[in-house]
Structure 1
Amino acid sequence: MEIRVIPGIIAVAIGFLLATLLLVPYIIWSYRRRGEIGLGHAVLGLGVLVYAVALWTYTLLPLPADLDAQWCAKFATTLQLHPLRFVAEAQKYPHDSVAALLRNPEIQGFLFNIALFVPLGMFARHVFHRGVLPTVIIGFLTSLLIECTQLTGNWFLFPCSYRLFDVDDLLSNTLGAVIGVALAPVLHLVPGQRVSAPPDQPRKVTVRRRWLGMALDVAAVSLLGATIVVVVAVLAEGRYNIDQHPLMLALASAWAPAVLLLLVIPLLGDGGTIGQRIVLLRPAGRGGGKPPVWRMLIRFLAGSGGYFGLLGWGLVNEWGELLAAGLLVVSGLAAWFSKGHRGLSGAIAGLRLADARTRVAGDPTGKVSVEERQ
């Protein structure tokens, strides 16, 4: 049982790690491709990541610790090119009942190899919209690639093969892909896959988009701040410890990144912050267009800029972090309950929030104005 469970645990752990690293690129791609995220699409995307890692963990792990010439001479595997040889091998074990057959390691291995490729057929057919024959071919070629990898010792990374090239694996894997094609319609039952409108059509501003945009802003500033601190530490080569200078640490880790990402870039663009631009939102002034600079400055100070300002102050005074946490909670609640989800900073600055795909009245694209939609 352990040999079956551990690779699965490793696959789930690595799959979630990859999903975390790819989350922001996925959000950007999804909004440009579909105009929205769609929870169902995200769940299926996570499933594809975990499954891709599972193919690696189940077919190539564990890697041998020490493969030398002596080991290869004694244990190196060879080709198994006799189709359905597992049937003859299975007869060496008790097979006088269904229970005995299910405990038979040869039968278990064959069934497991089928089950391993069922998700491939389902994902190729449903997620990547491949035809029936191309999906079956993909299943066969993927299995062949794995078997060749095993035969060559992970493409000559090791001096000999430590796993068997088995033609029965090719047959069972391909059969699994065929079954996956038949079961692909089951994935239609995953909720949240229906796209509500064409990608370029404006959507309603929702609290989930607001919160996601706010979270992306916080993540972007935090990441840039951490990068600046690390770069300074590397360049200083021990001559200067920025951690011992609270004001410099606050400037590098919070204030400067916040001003750049949440004020300068919005002023140079359509007014949207990094997070808002990713989720296709933008602030709108009274005429529906880009707000004036003074309103943008007020929005910055009352919102994310104020939060990072207090957070930086928290490196000098313990009240800063407490006030920053309070502002974050209030801003989150205001984004939920305020009119049009414009939030605390939008209310103070007198701004509304609009879908970035809307246009001002009279725009030559012919799209409706912000005022006509709200």
Structure 2
Amino acid sequence: MSAYVTPIVSAMLVFAAIAMLVTVPWAIYQYRKYGYYSFWKSFMLATFIFYSLSAFFLVILPLPESRVNCAERLPLNHYMQTTPFQFITDIQREATIQWSSLASYKQLAKTPAFYQLIFNILLLLPLGVYIRYMWKQKRNIWKAFVLGFSVSLFFEVTQLTGLYGFYTCPYRLFDVDDLMANTTGAVLGFILAPLFLMFIPSKSSLQIRDAAMSEKREATRGAELLALFFDIIAAQVIAGIIAAFGNQQWFEQQLLFFITLFVMIVLVPLVSRGRTLGARIVNIRYETIQHTLGLSLVKRYIAIMLPYMLGMISSMTDAAVPNETGWTLIFLIAINFLSVFVNVTIILHIVTRLIRRTKPFYFDHYSGTIALKKERKTNE
């Protein structure tokens, strides 16, 4: 069992590292190109990456303990099994199977050669499903055959060359039966793909949604939230760099962050046509529907800073709590509870708006600002 668990766990760890590196760039790419974040595109990409890693690790793991994994390198044909359908002979050798007697087939469950055959078929079956998702028509089954054979050949060559010369000798056998079984699995996956894809939107339906979303003028809540995230991070980094040159106390550092964020999300968009640094990254801009842009941006800043201000007050009261008693202590505790309540409420509000999509964030509703997608320049 560990022969299968270890590769899957390794794939999960590598996948987690890749996800941390590419999730934000992938989100930026989607917002800039399509104007929205597609869950199903992300889901299909993520599952394909995880599957690819799992399949590769299942083929190459476990690795030899040393790069010098043999005393003498033998000719390549010593590491190759080139007889087609050798697995039939192996099954007959490992179990007494009478192919004309169905009752004897139960012995297959105890036959390692049969397990190996099933494993190699299942290994590339998901690949066939992904190929069918990309090329939906049945006539494209030849692509499943070609790609399945190519991927299987890549696996076998990787094994035959000892990870392309990293190891002195091959540590697994090049097997022509594996090529046939892997390719069969990819073709079988292509044929059975509708059973797996019935609950997933088709590629064409996602393309229709792309076109519909590109026509909308208002930016999505996700795009606006990501832009604000970049603005806050940039303000914290800039404030931190400035603070590093001085010997500011905690309160002064917080005040420096407040000033820096004010510059980032109020002054900068006033002189750059409603675009903050974060807005430029996700390709949106801000306009006002109630007041002048300057007043709306100031009100938006105040609304955004509300949880920060309450958090700062809460931190200051925490330091004073041990030294107070009576009504003063009750008042300080109440401020802490108020801060927690407001922060939890805002988090729930943001999650709700991301789900419902049509409702504005509280800071947009209060300030009268609206986030719009920046129109692409077209050649007339």
Structure with greater helix share of residues: 2
C-alpha deviation, 1:158, in angstroms: 1.9
C-alpha deviation, 1:216, in angstroms: 6.4
Q: C-alpha separation between the residues in 1 aligned to 2:153 and 2:41? A: 29
Q: C-alpha separation between the residues in 1 aligned to 2:254 and 2:296? A: 25
Residue correspondences, number: 345
Q: Which residue pairs with 2:325 in the alignment?
A: none
Q: Which residue pairs with 1:369 in the alignment?
A: none
| Structure having the higher Rg | 2
C-alpha deviation, 1:312, in angstroms: 6.4
SS in 1 for 2:214: coil
Q: Identify if the C-alpha distance between structure 1 residues 78 and 50 changes in structure 2 by more than 3 Å, giving closer, same or farther.
A: same
Instruction: Name structure 2 gaps, 5 residues minimum.
Output: 98-103, 320-334
| 1:121 counterpart = 2:128 | yes
Q: Identify if the C-alpha distance between structure 1 residues 324 and 2 changes in structure 2 by more than 3 Å, giving closer, same or farther.
A: same
Q: C-alpha separation between the residues in 2 aligned to 1:217 and 1:339? A: 17
SS in 1 for 2:179: helix
Q: Which residue pairs with 2:225 in the alignment?
A: 214
What is the aligned-residue identity percentage?
25
Q: C-alpha separation between the residues in 2 aligned to 1:232 and 1:89? A: 72
| 1:285 counterpart = 2:288 | yes
Q: Which residue pairs with 1:329 in the alignment?
A: 344
Deviations 1:299-349 (A, max 9, x none): 12211x444565567776649997765544344455558996233222332
C-alpha deviation, 1:150, in angstroms: 1.3
| 1:350 counterpart = 2:353 | no
The one-letter code matched in structure 2 to 1:147 is E
User: Is 1:255–1:312's contact at 8 Å kept on the other side of the alignment?
Assistant: no
C-alpha deviation, 1:11, in angstroms: 2.1
| 1:200 counterpart = 2:214 | yes
User: Is 2:7–2:57's contact at 8 Å kept on the other side of the alignment?
Assistant: yes
User: Is 2:270–2:293's contact at 8 Å kept on the other side of the alignment?
Assistant: no
Q: Which residue pairs with 1:89 in the alignment?
A: 90
The one-letter code matched in structure 2 to 1:137 is V
TM-score scaled to structure 1, two decimals?
A: 0.73
Q: 1:1-374 maps to which residues of 2 (within 5 A)?
A: 1-68=1-68, 70=70, 78-96=79-97, 97-127=104-134, 131-191=140-200, 194-195=205-206, 196=209, 198=211, 199-202=213-216, 209-210=220-221, 213-214=224-225, 217-218=228-229, 221-222=232-233, 225=236, 245-247=249-251, 250=254, 255=258, 258-259=261-262, 262-263=265-266, 266-267=269-270, 269=272, 271=274, 282-286=285-289, 292-303=293-304, 305-308=305-308, 318=318, 326-332=341-347, 336=352, 341-351=359-369, 353-356=370-373
User: Is 1:202–1:358's contact at 8 Å kept on the other side of the alignment?
Assistant: no
The one-letter code matched in structure 2 to 1:12 is M
SS in 2 for 1:92: helix
C-alpha deviation, 1:149, in angstroms: 1.4
Q: Which residue pairs with 2:328 in the alignment?
A: none
SS in 2 for 1:284: strand
TM-score scaled to structure 2, two decimals?
A: 0.72
User: Is 2:238–2:260's contact at 8 Å kept on the other side of the alignment?
Assistant: no
Deviations 1:212-242 (A, max 9, x none): 743663477348847986x899xx9xxx998
Q: C-alpha separation between the residues in 1 aligned to 2:192 and 2:10? A: 26
Instruction: Name structure 1 gaps, 5 residues minimum.
Output: 366-374
Q: C-alpha separation between the residues in 2 aligned to 1:192 and 1:272? A: 34
The one-letter code matched in structure 1 to 2:19 is A
Q: C-alpha separation between the residues in 2 aligned to 1:349 and 1:48? A: 42
Q: Which residue pairs with 2:100 in the alignment?
A: none
